[in-house]
Structure 1
């Protein structure tokens, strides 16, 4: 007498397929939620208002060769160094009180980092001529740390000192030092030593670029991609089960459709 066959779902080969499908599906779901968590964490960090926190030393916040720390947007920093007046540039298209004007930006060679400088937005002026002469000598400033602009707008005339945006790749052509991957906007309420902004209106936070809506978008896309892989693994398992049922003729009792 032929012993009854095990249902397809309980046969050894099928159990291996089930286990593999479950492992792949669980891994894809877990990795998707991990990437989603990273997306949410980065957006939360960028949205945090650090502007009224205690200033930190620039050297504690980032190094001269470090990428911009995404969780330090608006962080007040203190910077000591020497002005590099020959590297002064002016960023056009900046508003103050509804009026178009320019930012006056002068590099500050950071103390202890002789070959590296930080771009410092000293303030706003209606025109380049109104901005006055750039400062010289040593300085100690307190400023809000900001990531470089990245709109992709090209500098139509690289030979002058007027820039369409505050992009490191554009500004570095005007200085001999390496530049930090950030810039800082002088805090007009903080005590300054030789900030060189007497002729300038404050460049305050209302003039700073908004946080990008594409912040951490790659993590969100990775999450969706992992869940897509999980759905694909489930689909392959379903197709395998359907084909096996059709092949073995077990259809009625074991259908997975």
Structure 2
């Protein structure tokens, strides 16, 4: 009755199943591994952030360029505040508001973007506190430049004058006539009564949407493997039923497959 398993059609089905199941299991295991890597990097980032907060702040030049090891580290920089911009569509503790971003012009000419604090509501230059005059020294958490689309960063253009969607040198260089560091600092204590902005986890280290996408893909690949097995058994049962019906003469002449008729014959 199971001689049909030796037909070319079933050879093709069986080879497909034998290749598809290990592939689905491999891809599911790989996606699970990616999720576990992100979990580990998230825990490491939290531990490093706690350690960074306990360590003394270091000069900015010692921490550039920003990478996973230096992101969130405490740093200091000295200069004069020159230009101020507002960064809309930023949430803090579940409330919508905006950052007050001020550029700190350093002695060597480049400016360091400094997030002085957060205010609720829509961006309003009249409500944003003016920066201190004269030379200042700031202390805060060092952050890598943002990339539109990551961590909820707005990628929309057409913002009013005095606003920017992303805190990045690529965006700011078009708004100011001097060089900008490829990093920014969030003050540990909000300036002029504003709320301090907590440091964000370095890229590819937090439990963001991509991490849970990996977990979702893990489930999908294992479901695919189970579906392949289910369909194979379903096709097998159908063939067996057809073979039994053919033996009993219950298959109409016009529904019989001439190529497989010998396989359904009584052995």
Q: TM-score, normalised by structure 2?
A: 0.54
Answer yes or no: is the 8 Å Cα contact 1:82–1:139 preserved in 2: yes
Distance 1:36 1:8, change over 3 A: same
The yes-or-no answer on 1:26 pairing with 2:22 is yes
User: Matched residue pairs, number?
Assistant: 224
Q: Which runs of 5+ in 1 are unaligned?
A: 63-68, 189-196
The within-5 A match list for 1:1-257 is 18=14, 20-43=16-39, 45-46=41-42, 48-49=45-46, 50-54=48-52, 58-59=63-64, 61-62=66-67, 75-78=72-75, 80=77, 85-86=82-83, 88-91=84-87, 103-107=99-103, 119-124=113-118, 128=125, 131-133=129-131, 141-145=139-143, 148=146, 150=152, 152=154, 154=156, 157-159=159-161, 161-162=162-163, 166=166, 168=168, 171=172, 173-175=174-176, 176-177=178-179, 180=182, 183-188=184-189, 199=192, 201=194, 203-205=196-198, 214-231=209-226, 233-234=228-229, 237-238=232-233, 241=236, 245=240, 246=243, 247=260, 249=263
Contact 1:122 1:200 in 2 (8 A): no
- Alpha-carbon spacing, 1:144–1:235, altered in 2? closer, same or farther (3 Å): same
Q: TM-score, normalised by structure 1?
A: 0.55
Q: Is the Cα–Cα contact under 8 Å of residues 80 and 111 in structure 1 kept in the other structure?
A: no
Q: In the aligned structure 1, how far is the partner of 2:96 from the partner of 2:174?
A: 25
**RMSD, matched Cα:** 5.3
Cα displacement (A) at 1:36: 2.3
- What is the rounded CA distance, in whole Å, between the counterparts of 2:7 and 2:119 in structure 1? 78
What is the CA-CA distance between 1:35 and the residue it aligns to?
0.4
Cα 1:203–1:138, aligned 2, differ >3 Å: closer, same or farther?
closer
Does the 8 Å contact 1:106/1:134 carry over to 2? no
Alignment check: 8 A CA contact 2:80 2:135 kept: yes
Distance 1:221 1:243, change over 3 A: same
Q: Measure how far apart 1:28 and its partner are.
A: 0.7
